[in-house]
Amino acid sequence: MPTIIPELPFKPTWAEAPSSRDPRHAPTPLTEEQKQHFLTHGWVRIPDCFTKDQADWVVQDVWTRLGSDPNDKPTWRGRTNMPSHRSFDASVFAPKAWSAITELCGGEDKLVDVSRQWRDNLIVSLGTAENEGRDTDPRDLDNWHVDGDFFVHYLDSPEQALLVIPLFSDINPGGGGTMICPAGMERIAKHLYDHPEGVSPSMTPRGDPDFDKDVGLRFYVDLVKSLRRHDFVEVTGEVGDVFLLHPLMMHSASTNPRRQLRIITNPPVHFSEPQSFNRPGGTYSLVEQTTLRALGKDSLPEWEIAGPRERRIPERYKALAEMREKERRRLEGTSDVAVSPI
């Protein structure tokens, strides 16, 4: 079966993205330090991949789309996962980031072409009055997960090659940065290794009565409760930075106690074929090597999947289609639909 690609209920319009001629944004091989950081921690920050002007092009009209007033906090919603209206070529917009993505994955030829598409499906965090000024223990967050709600998960799944986080706003500590959990990768890898029959996006094994049910994020939330506070990392940086995370990296939205405008996206990256953990000569991609490290293995000659690769249709797709129509009406100036504050 070919790699499962998310089938959105709408198609974004292709746009010619602005590019930068600054040599700092040109494709650059990963340094040995960056490679080792990814292998050890499951993530790496690629700094200064695009300009603020480019970021402004992506986030234009964000307040109109939200239906909120930047100067009136009662109109703000805590967190919004927006639909997309435009897509553009990451290799043109952020060639240094695209170069790093392909290097981690073993080469551009290992990826599905659609992986080059970034979209303006912005993820906006504005915080809430309830959490303003309050520090929250990462273990108390309720949004922990690994990405991929559109397929049944296996250790070698090609559908999620990396988690990509481009920063379209500066993110200070306490300013809404994604919380990540490098210490949880071993647990996730072991769970997938132990269940070659496949698990649901909620990590429920096939054969369990709840396999086809939406049981929420309790697997992940329970897992992080067993970890230490210093096992977590907050994604912070400047406009133009891009964070690249291993696909088994648990992450969660944070509460944004500073209530600063934080804008990111999570453009998907897909392998064209399932990953392999038994390559001749050990010619593994950095993503595959990191998985093997998490398992404490050099290779997995005995491991293979024991179930079909299956698509899931997330419930959020319907909500995204409805949200997109509301945004379109606001952008056209025809909307009389108010956004209720949360």
pLDDT of residue 339: 40
4 vs 268: which has the higher pLDDT: 268
Pairing of strands 162-166, 86-89: unpaired
In one-letter notation, the amino acid at residue 5 is I
Instruction: Give the pLDDT band of residue 338 (cuts 50, 70, 90).
Output: very low
pLDDT of residue 258: 98
Taking 50 as the threshold, does the pLDDT of residue 224 lie above it? yes
Half-sphere exposure of 20 (CA within 13 A, CB side): 22
For the chain, give every domain's residue range: 45-327
In one-letter notation, the amino acid at residue 246 is H
Measured CA to CA, the distance from residue 125 to residue 154 in angstroms comes to 31
CATH no., domain 45-327:
2.60.120
Measured CA to CA, the distance from residue 121 to residue 321 in angstroms comes to 12
pLDDT of residue 334: 58
Measured CA to CA, the distance from residue 239 to residue 54 in angstroms comes to 10
Taking 80 as the threshold, does the pLDDT of residue 7 lie above it? no
Of the candidates 70, 76, 68, 74, which has an alpha carbon nearest to the alpha carbon of residue 126?
A: 76
Number of residues assigned to the chain: 342
The shares of helix, strand and coil residues in the chain, as percent rounded to the nearest 5, are 30, 15, 55
Measured CA to CA, the distance from residue 292 to residue 300 in angstroms comes to 8
In one-letter notation, the amino acid at residue 168 is F
Question: What average pLDDT does this structure show over 169-175?
Answer: 98
Measured CA to CA, the distance from residue 36 to residue 131 in angstroms comes to 36
- pTM, to two decimals: 0.95
